[in-house]
């Protein structure tokens, strides 16, 4: 008796939801937040300030705050790319693929999203310094769209290449 074609799809949605819940529950723990998320966010702030400093002096980071003489940006929880990365990670973990493929996808996609987020923060800071009037536009519309586009593109490319395809029936 052939398996229902709906089964892998339902299984994916269920796994995706479950993994997402677990991952979000983990980062909601105060201990994880204090020991991992906040230090990571400080690294993101420093990296973003460093990237911008390479193009334009006068930008520094103290803790999670990027600042110059003209503008400041607080890289709070939610600004560090972690939530977007977890969404992508949940989709990769739930998708039918080998464990090795999932690990490859997790590592590459997570790094890519975080690097993109550093570029995002640097560019937003620069806009905040020089073109404050378009800061919100880029923050809310442009960069959100780019991050979503990047995440979806990476997931489609990864799943297309690494999906566990059904074995062809022998004649």
Partner 1 sequence: MKRNTLLANIGLATLLLFSASAAFAQISLGTAQNFGVLGGSTVTNTGATTVNGNVGVSPGSAVTGFPPGVVVGGAIHSNDAVAMQAQNDLTTAYNNIASTPCTVDLTGQDLGGLTLTPGVYCYSSTAQLTGTLTLNALGNANALFLFKIGSALTTASGSSVVVINNGGNSCNKAYWQVGSSATIGTGSSFAGDILALSSITFTTGSNSSGRALARNGAVTLDTNHVNTCGVLACPIITVNPATLPNGTVGTPYNQSVSASGGTAPYAFSVSSGALPTSLILNPATGAITGTPTVPGTFTFTITATDATGCSGSRQYTMTIANAGCSAIIVNPTTLPPGATLQPYAQTITASGGTAPYTFAVIGGALPPGLSLNSTTGLIAGAPQQPGIFNVTIGATDSAGCQGSRAYTIAILAGQPAGGPTLNIAGLAILMVLLVAAALFVMNRLSI
CA distance 97 to 102: 6
SS3 at position 66: strand
- With the C-alpha atoms ordered 42, 44, 45, 46, is the resulting torsion angle positive or negative? positive
Site for partner 1 in 10-69 (CB under 8 A): 12-13, 16, 20, 53, 55-60, 62-63, 65, 67-69
Q: What is the per-residue DSSP string for 72-125? A: EEE--TTTSSHHHHHHHHHHHHHSSB-HHHHHHHHHHHHHHHHHHHHHHHHHHH
Residue that has been written with the tokens 């796994």 in this structure: 15
For the chain, the C-alpha Rg in angstroms (whole number) is 19
CB of 85 to partner 1, least distance (A): 9
Q: Please pick, from the candidates 100, 165, 169, 171, the single residue that binds partner 1 as defined by CB under 8 A.
A: 165
Contacts with 72 (C-beta within 8 Å, 6 or more apart), sequence order: 65, 66
Q: What letter does residue 133 receive in the DSSP assignment?
A: G
- What does the block give as tokens for 64? 């999670």
Closer of 35 and 63 to partner 1 (Cβ): 63
Closer of 32 and 134 to partner 1 (Cβ): 134
Q: Please pick, from the candidates 18, 103, 134, 148, the single residue that binds partner 1 as defined by CB under 8 A.
A: 148
Q: Please pick, from the candidates 2, 30, 160, 167, the single residue that binds partner 1 as defined by CB under 8 A.
A: 160
Binding characters for partner 1, 91-130, by CB under 8 A (x = yes): x--xxx--------------------x-xxx-xx-x-xxx
Q: Please pick, from the candidates 38, 42, 112, 139, the single residue that binds partner 1 as defined by CB under 8 A.
A: 139
- Which residues are near partner 1 by CB under 8 A? 8-9, 12-13, 16, 20, 53, 55-60, 62-63, 65, 67-76, 78-81, 83-84, 87-88, 90-91, 94-96, 117, 119-121, 123-124, 126, 128-130, 135, 139-140, 143-144, 146-148, 151-153, 155-157, 159-160, 163-166
């Amino acid at each position: 008796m052939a398996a229902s074609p709906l089964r892998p799809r339902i299984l994916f949605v269920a796994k995706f939801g479950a993994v997402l819940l677990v991952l979000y529950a983990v980062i909601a723990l105060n201990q994880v937040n204090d020991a991992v998320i906040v230090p990571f966010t400080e690294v993101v702030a420093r990296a973003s300030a460093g990237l911008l400093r390479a193009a334009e002096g006068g930008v520094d980071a103290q803790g999670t705050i990027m600042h110059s003489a003209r503008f400041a940006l607080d890289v709070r929880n939610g600004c560090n790319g972690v939530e977007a990365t977890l969404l992508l990670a949940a989709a990769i973990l739930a998708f039918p693929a080998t464990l090795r493929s999932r690990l490859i996808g997790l590592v590459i996609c997570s790094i890519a999203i975080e690097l993109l987020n550093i570029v995002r923060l640097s560019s937003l800071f620069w806009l905040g310094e020089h073109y404050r009037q378009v800061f919100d536009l880029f923050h809310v519309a442009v960069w959100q769209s780019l991050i979503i586009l990047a995440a979806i593109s990476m997931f489609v490319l990864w799943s297309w290449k690494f999906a566990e395809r059904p074995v062809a029936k022998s004649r």
